[in-house]
Structure 1
Amino acid sequence: MAYYGVIDLGSNSIRLVVYEVAGSARKPFSKKDFHSVINEKKIAGLSAYVSDGVFTQAGIDRAVEVLTEHLRRARNVGCDRVRVFATAVLRNCSNSKAATRAISDAIGLPVELLSARDEAHLGFVGATCDRDIERGTLIDIGGGSTELTRVEGGADSCGVSLPQGSVSSYAQFVSMILPTHDEMHVIEDAFAAHLDTLGDLEPYRAARLYGVGGSTRAAAKMYAAAFGTSGRPRTLELHQLDALLALLARNPRTFAHLAVKATPDRLHTLVPGCLIAITLMRALGAESLEICKYGVREGFLIRRILEA
C-alpha cells in the first residue's frame, strides 16, 4: 500500500484528500485501485481576496495558512507523496504567476496551476474511473469557473472553461444568503452571456450531461431532502431542478431550513450552482444530468501521480 495526498486549492475551499493505493494497482487505473482515507475541507474563501483582478497578499497569506495545516496533516499520516494544484481562483487573476510562485515558496512545495484544458480533461479522467461514458457532455461547476467537455466515442475533446462558477456568481450577484428572484435572473443572464462567447454550441449538445464536482452533488442532496427520495438521486432531470427553485420561490424559509440540513457548507452557493446547471441543460438540449462521484482530484491522482 502507498499513501498519496492531493490538495485542491479552490475558490471557496481548500481540500486535502489522502488516497490509499493498492500495491497491485496497474494501468489502466480505476476506482478499484484506490480509496480515500482522509477527506478534509477547509473554507478559505479565496475568491474574496481578489481585488480588481489581483490576488492580494492577504489571499496569499490565507492560502499559505490553510495549506500548511493540510501539509502537516498529510505528513502525520505518513503520505508517500503530496501534490498541490490550483484552478480558477489563481488561473484567472492578473498576477497569477506571481501569486502561485509566492504560495509555492512559502509552503516549500510547488503549486501546480491547472490550465482550463487540464482541468476539463482531469475531470473526465476522474469521472470515468468508475463508469464508461461513451457520449455526452461533462460539466464541472466549480467555484470560480465552469468547464465543459465533449465526450464522443469514449474520449474527451473540446474542453473549455467559462469564467463563472457557483462562488463567483454568489459574490457578484447575491446580496444576502439566498438570491432574490431578480438576482436569480441576473445569474442566469450572466452565464448565458458567457455561453454566447463560445459561438457554436453544437459540439456540446447532448441528451445527457455528466456533472462533476460539489455543485451538482449538492443539488442532488438538496432534491433528496426537499422531496423525500430514498438516498441521493444519481440522475437529475430538468423538471426536478426547476422544482427546487419553485420551492425556493414558494417558501424561502422551508428551502433555507432544508438546505442547512442537506448542504450546510454550500448554503450560499447551492442556488447559483443549480441555476448554472439549468441554464446549461436548456442551452444544450439535455434531458438529464448524471451525478458523478469522482472528478478532478481523482483525475489528478491517476494522471499526475499514479501514471507518472
Structure 2
Amino acid sequence: MRVAVLDVGSNSAHLQVVDDSFDPVFRLKEPTLLAESVTPDGALSPDAVERLVAAVARTVAASREQAVADLIPLATATIRDATNNAEIRRRVRDATGVELRSLSGEDEARVTFLAVRRYLGPAAGHLLLLDIGGMSMEVAAGAGERPDVAVSLPIGAGRLTRQLLPHHPASRDAVAEVRRRVRHALRDLPKVSSPDLVVGTSKTFKQLARVAGDGRRLTRRKLRAWVPRLAGMTPRERAKLPGVAASRARQLLAGAVIAEAAMDALGVEALKVCPWALREGLLLRRLTELAQA
C-alpha cells in the first residue's frame, strides 16, 4: 500500500509517496511562493491563492496516478494562519476533492521531533531540535520519541523577511531588528536541559549548512560571519550560492539571522542537520497507526 503526505507550505506543495515499508516511491514539488504574498490584513493575495490551488491540483493528480491509498494533505502555518484560510480550503476542496488539514505549531514540532528521533535513533540521547519554516520556528527537546518541550514561535524566515527586511541588500539596523525579534520570541521558552545533540531541520538549515558549513554541520561562529555577507547581497546574488534556490534566496538572510540568534540565545555552538522533518514524521506516524489497526 502506498501512503503519501502533501505538504502545502510557503514555497511549494510537496508530495512525498512511500510504500508501507517506508521506502520512497515518488516525489513532486510544485511552487506556491506564498511567503511574499500576504496582504497587510493577513490574507493571501488572489494571485497567491490561484498559484496554491493550481499547485495542489497538480500534486493531487500525481498522487492518484501513483495509486496512493492514503493521502495526508497538510496546510502549514502560511495557510493555517491566513485570514482567508476558509476560502482557500474551499477553493482547494472544490478543485481537487481534497480537504486540507492543519496541525497546531506545537503538534508540528512534536511530529518533526518524532522524525528526527527515528532518523538518529535512541543512542543520540537528549535532543534539542530547531526547525525554521516560512512563518514560524519550532523548538522541541526530549530524550524519547515524544518531546518534553514543543513550542512554535512566530519568527519564520518568510514572515520576518516580509515584516523587517523589505530591502536587499539589507541595512545593519534591519538585521539587528530581526535579531532582536528572535531574542524576544525566545525569552519565554521553557527551560531546556543540556542536550546531547542539537539538530537543525528544514530547507533553511539545509541551505545554510551548504553555504556556511559542510552540508551536514553548522557552527554559530561561521554562521555569524556569513550574516553580514548575506546582508550585502541581492537575492539574485544569493541564488548563486551553493544549494540556494532562487525561490528562497530573498528569505535566506532572515533564516541566517534567526538561526544565529537562536543558537546564541540557547547557548548552541554547533548543530547537526537532519534530512528528515515534518513530512517524514507524518508518514511514520501514519504507518504506525496503520500497522496497529
> Could you say whether these structures have the same fold, taking a TM-score greater than 0.5 normalized by the shorter chain as the test?
yes
CA distance 1:55–1:131, shift in 2 (3 Å):
same
Q: Percent identity?
A: 25
Matched, 1:202 2:191: yes
SS at match of 1:170: helix
RMSD of aligned alpha carbons: 2.7
Indicate the residue corresponding to 1:190 in structure 2. Answer: 181
- Distance in 2 between residues matched to 1:88 and 1:204, nearest whole Å: 28
Indicate the residue corresponding to 2:72 in structure 1. Answer: 83
Indicate the residue corresponding to 2:4 in structure 1. Answer: 5
**1:12 touches 1:44 (CA, 8 Å); kept in 2?**
yes
Matched, 1:100 2:86: no
The aligned amino acid for 2:255 is G
Deviation at 1:143, TM superposition (A): 0.4
CA distance 1:93–1:155, shift in 2 (3 Å):
same
Deviation at 1:279, TM superposition (A): 0.9
Deviation at 1:276, TM superposition (A): 0.7
- Distance in 2 between residues matched to 1:128 and 1:39, nearest whole Å: 25
**1:206 touches 1:286 (CA, 8 Å); kept in 2?**
no
Equivalent positions of 1:8-19 (< 5 A) are: 8-19=7-18
The aligned amino acid for 1:295 is A
- Distance in 1 between residues matched to 2:198 and 2:146, nearest whole Å: 15
TM-score, normalised by the number of residues in structure 2: 0.86
Deviation at 1:289, TM superposition (A): 1.3
Residue among 223, 229, 235 paired with 1:241: 223
Q: Which range moved further: 164-173 or 174-183?
A: 174-183
Q: Which range moved further: 158-167 or 54-63?
A: 54-63
Equivalent positions of 1:129-140 (< 5 A) are: 129-132=118-121, 133-140=124-131
**2:140 touches 2:151 (CA, 8 Å); kept in 1?**
yes
The aligned amino acid for 2:262 is L
CA distance 1:258–1:83, shift in 2 (3 Å):
closer
Deviation at 1:306, TM superposition (A): 4.8
Deviation at 1:221, TM superposition (A): 1.3
Deviation at 1:139, TM superposition (A): 1.0
User: What stretches of structure 2 of length at least 5 have no aligned partner?
Assistant: none
CA distance 1:260–1:38, shift in 2 (3 Å):
same
- Distance in 2 between residues matched to 1:17 and 1:177, nearest whole Å: 34
- Distance in 2 between residues matched to 1:204 and 1:63, nearest whole Å: 40
**2:32 touches 2:52 (CA, 8 Å); kept in 1?**
no
SS at match of 1:54: coil
Deviation at 1:64, TM superposition (A): 1.4
Deviation at 1:216, TM superposition (A): 0.3
Deviation digits for residues 199-221 of structure 1, max 9, x if unmatched? x5422664742111111001011
The aligned amino acid for 1:299 is G
Q: Which range moved further: 240-249 or 7-16?
A: 240-249
- Distance in 2 between residues matched to 1:177 and 1:212, nearest whole Å: 26
SS at match of 2:118: coil
Deviation at 1:79, TM superposition (A): 2.4
Indicate the residue corresponding to 2:243 in structure 1. Answer: 262
SS at match of 1:137: strand
User: What stretches of structure 1 of length at least 5 have no aligned partner?
Assistant: 26-32, 225-231
TM-score, normalised by the number of residues in structure 1: 0.82
